[in-house]
Every structure is written in structure tokens, then in C-alpha cells.
Structure 1
Amino acid sequence: MPRTVRIASINVNGIRAATRKGMLEWIDQAGVDIMALQEVRANEEQLTAALPGWRIVHHEALQKGRSGVAVASRVEAAAVRTVLGPEPLDQSGRWIEADFDIDGETLTVVSVYVHSGEDGTPKQDAKYAFLDAMQSRLPHLAAHSPLALVMGDMNVGHRQLDIRNWKGNLKKAGFLPRERAYLDRILAPEGTEIECIDGTTGTGLGWVDVGRRWAGEVDGPYSWWSNRGQAFDNDTGWRIDYHLATAPLADRVTAYRIDRAPSWDTRWSDHAPVVADYSVGR
């Protein structure tokens, strides 16, 4: 019989700070089985100490105190991979894949942290190089595991529904047409030729945006809010934290939510956890 596996994607904005501010209390009540973490900003010892009792696989950034991704789970991962593309992508602490044996089925979970970028600078070039490598990897990932889930802070709002102030961000990193076109291709039906938002054409990869499928054609719900002004209080946010699932896995979603904090002063990260339930196992 299949069982429900609750999976969360969380940009923790520093795991040590997050656990000090209330993340552990959230974990206790959220009932999650697997967590994809981004911006861990910790070494192996610090991460293990911050999350006692969890099985953790980690891809640490070469620069201390920067980026870093991890997958924390209640069961041991059967296999782990961190190779995404050519150097320096492989060692930037932004991509980790973990395979889990769930009652006779293989579930592959990926934690990804895409560069924030800055238009017209080398930071944006690095972001496009990473997105190129990610786009190339996804078909191989789906072939490896029909039940695959890529989660994390992708630092791209796909559509106008995903950013409250989309008009003011049309020429800024995070909502540039070229960035959004990657998600056009990733999410279009597999094998279909499409025209992307930036005017280019591409071939669909057939992945599913679980959050948009679940929420429908509505504004948000958002997962990140700037610390400037009263963005959180006014819900002037961005939906940049995703669950991207293969089509077979997307059909097994039984629940989805974004755990927005009740107030600004109760947040333990500037991102909210994105949580979904999946039916997995034979």
C-alpha cells in the first residue's frame, strides 16, 4: 500500500540562525519526513548539531558562510549525487540529489539553490550557466527516476501571478524574460515545441509546478518577502520556492501548502516552508 510522504522545501537563510529562532518548533508540529534545505551556510558538524536526529546529506559551498544545500530525512538515503555540470558548478553548494527507497519505489529528491543574479553582471552569467546545466540535467533525472522532485529557491518568478509587484520588476533579475523562459521549457508538455516568454522557441520537458497546479490561477501564494519596508505585512511577495515534479509524481500529490508565519516577528527565515504530501510506495 502506498503511504504519504510529507516533503518540505525551505530556504533557511542560515540553519543555525533558523533553529535558534524557532525552526525546530516548526519541525515538531509540521510532521515532515524529508526536507530540502537551501542557504544552509554551515559545515557538516554545525548542520548535524542544528538538526539532531535527522539523516543529512549535504553539499557545502567552497566559500564558508555562503549558500550550501542539504537533504534531511528520517531514513537513510540510498544514493547521493552532487554533479550538475562543469566546474565550478559542481562545487558551488547549490545542487544535491538523494534517492530514497520508499516501500519498494525509488523517490529522488533534489535540493537546488539558484543564484540570485544581477542583470548585466558576471553574477547573471553564472545564473544562466547554472540554469543551462539544470535544464540539461532534468531529462536524465526523469529517466533515472520516474518519481523525481526538484525543490528549492530558484530565484525566478515564472509568471505575473508569482510576483505581487511584477510591473516594477520586469527588468530586474528574478523576473527577466530569459530567466522565465527556462521555466517555460521545463514546465511545457514533454516534447512539445513552444514559444517562450523571451521570444525564443524550445522543447517542453514535461515537469509540473506542483504549487501552481494546486493553487490554480491566483496571485501567489508567495514564499519570500523582502525585509525592506512592510513587504511581509502587505504580502508584497514573490513565489520563487518551488516543488517541480515529474508528471507521474505530480499525479500523486495529496496536499500542498506554504507555511507563512503568522506575523513578521515570528518568522525564522525570510522564506516560508513549501510543504506537499506525496503518495509513494507499492
Structure 2
Amino acid sequence: MRVVSLNVNGIRSATSKGVFDWLKHQQADVICLQEVKAQEDQITEAMRPGGWHAFFNCAQKKGYAGVALYSRVEPDKVHVGFGSKEHDDEGRYLQADFGKLSVVSLYLPSGSAGPHRQESKFRFMEHFLPVLKKFLHDGREYILCGDWNIAHKEIDLKNWKSNRKNSGFLPEERAWLTRIFDELGWVDVFRKLNDKPEQYTWWSNRGQAWA
């Protein structure tokens, strides 16, 4: 199974820029999108391309957060949310089950907007850790895709020294990921396959950092 995950920063804008044309060439079986920023009534036919089963978990707040999942094969079951009302209302979790395998499209809160958002992020982390523990004992295999809004180690961030006090690289956030990987045994697949420096999964749009 080939799984593709992408933060589209607005599915309507991404659609107009040809994201689904690009995805046609990725030979994916499952596509996970984050930050769709759309309501259900704003999902057009262009966002439901032929040959795909499409599922959405949209935030109650308009133009905010939200995740989507597309699959070639119809899932046995789809789960919307993970049981935290605060974050389920923001459309941050969508799970599709295929036999014994579950694929999750996940979008963690960003704390960069201010202390109130960082506190929401910490609450997400607190509520989601028991979910990850439970997954280890339910007899299923999991692929967790998405935008986690946290860099784990110095190698995962271009300018790590200047970001040590910023949301996304705070000691508490990094320690949380360490627990997930070292104590619970989850695997950072990207870093497992790309263990060399200068390999990243995200660049800021500010100052054309991605160029």
C-alpha cells in the first residue's frame, strides 16, 4: 500500500492550483490531507475525483483546520474524531480501517498563535497519548499520517537553535514525541528512511524558505 500525506493549507486553493492533478501521478492507494479549511457544503465535485472514496472531518469553525482521507478501496469503517470534544470540533482526526490496517489523517494544533493555542496543543497531547497506548493493544496495525506541528530532534529543524523557545520545538513537545517513539515503540518512518541532515518534511512559506 502506498500512502501519501500532505498539508494543503486550504483544499479550495489547492484544488485551483492543481493538487489533484499532481496526486494522479503519485500512484497512491490512500491520500491523507490536513488543514483543508473547508466546510462540508464547500466540498465540490473537483474535490471528490473519480476513482476515489473521499471522507472529511471538517472543523466547526469556518476556514479552519480539518482533515480529509481518500482511498482507492472503500474502507471497512471510518472513524471521525478520537474522543476529545475540543479537538474533534476542530476536525483533527480521521481514521479509515482496511482489514487489520488503519490509516489516520491527523492534524495537531499549532501553538504559534499565542499561549491559549499552546495550551490547547498541550491538552491535545495529553488526550492523544492514551489513544496511542490503546492502539498498541487492539490487534491492529496503524499508519499515522499528518501534520504534527512538532520537530522532534535538532536534525529535524533547519534553525533549531533559534527555535528552542518556540512552539513546535519546545522541550515539553519534544519529550512527548520521545515518549511516543522510545517508550511506546512508534516509528518515525520519514526519519527511519531519511537519516541524513538537510532532510525535512516542511518549509515555511515566509521568505520563500522552501525555495
TM range (shorter): over 0.9
Q: CA distance change for structure 1 residues 212 and 146 in 2, over 3 Å: closer, same or farther?
A: same
The yes-or-no answer on 1:47 pairing with 2:43 is yes
Q: CA distance change for structure 1 residues 165 and 84 in 2, over 3 Å: closer, same or farther?
A: same
Decide whether the 8 Å contact of 1:82 with 1:97 is kept in 2.
Answer: yes
Instruction: Give CA-to-partner distance per residue, 1:132-171, whole Å, 9 cap, x none.
Output: 1121101222323431011100000000001100011000
Q: Secondary structure in 2 aligned to 1:88? A: helix
Q: In the alignment, which of 146, 151, 154 is matched to residue 140 of structure 2?
A: 146
Amino acid at match of 2:86: P
Q: Which residue of 1 aligns with 2:67?
A: 69
Amino acid at match of 1:22: G
Q: CA deviation at 1:59?
A: 0.9
- Greater share of residues in helix: 2
Q: Which residue of 1 aligns with 2:209?
A: 231
The yes-or-no answer on 1:30 pairing with 2:8 is no
Q: Which residue of 2 aligns with 1:178?
A: 172
Q: Secondary structure in 2 aligned to 1:186? A: helix
Q: CA deviation at 1:23?
A: 0.9
Q: For residues 240-255 of structure 1, what are the structure 2 equivalents within 5 Å? A: none
Amino acid at match of 1:80: V
Q: CA distance change for structure 1 residues 36 and 142 in 2, over 3 Å: closer, same or farther?
A: farther
Amino acid at match of 1:64: K
Q: CA deviation at 1:178?
A: 0.3
Q: For residues 86-165 of structure 1, what are the structure 2 equivalents within 5 Å? A: 86-101=84-99, 106-118=100-112, 121-165=115-159
CA RMSD in angstroms comes to 1.6
Q: CA deviation at 1:232?
A: 1.4
- Greater share of residues in strand: 1
The yes-or-no answer on 1:21 pairing with 2:8 is no
Q: CA–CA distance in 2 between the matches of 1:28 and 1:210?
A: 23
Unaligned 5+ segments in structure 2 are: none
Q: CA–CA distance in 1 between the matches of 2:35 and 2:113?
A: 21
Instruction: Give CA-to-partner distance per residue, 1:233-267, whole Å, 9 cap, x none.
Output: 2xxxxxxxxxxxxxxxxxxxxxxxxxxxxxxxxxx
Relative contact order: is structure 1 or structure 2 higher (C-alpha 8 Å, sep ≥ 6)?
Answer: 1
Q: Which residue of 2 aligns with 1:191?
A: none
Decide whether the 8 Å contact of 2:152 with 2:177 is kept in 1.
Answer: yes
Q: Report the TM-score, using the length of structure 1 for normalisation.
A: 0.70
Q: CA distance change for structure 1 residues 220 and 158 in 2, over 3 Å: closer, same or farther?
A: farther
Instruction: Give CA-to-partner distance per residue, 1:45-68, whole Å, 9 cap, x none.
Output: 433521322211211101011100
Q: Which residue of 2 aligns with 1:85?
A: 83
Decide whether the 8 Å contact of 1:107 with 1:145 is kept in 2.
Answer: no
Q: Report the TM-score, using the length of structure 2 for normalisation.
A: 0.93
Q: Which residue of 2 aligns with 1:250?
A: none
Q: CA–CA distance in 2 between the matches of 1:172 and 1:60?
A: 27
The answer to which of 147-156 and 72-81 deviates more is 72-81
Of all paired residues, the percent bearing the same amino acid is 44
Instruction: Give CA-to-partner distance per residue, 1:63-119, whole Å, 9 cap, x none.
Output: 011100111111111112223233212222011111013xxxx21011111111038
Q: CA–CA distance in 2 between the matches of 1:149 and 1:133?
A: 19
Q: Tell me which structure has the larger Cα radius of gyration.
A: 1
Q: CA deviation at 1:22?
A: 2.1
Q: CA distance change for structure 1 residues 118 and 17 in 2, over 3 Å: closer, same or farther?
A: closer
Unaligned 5+ segments in structure 1 are: 189-203, 234-282
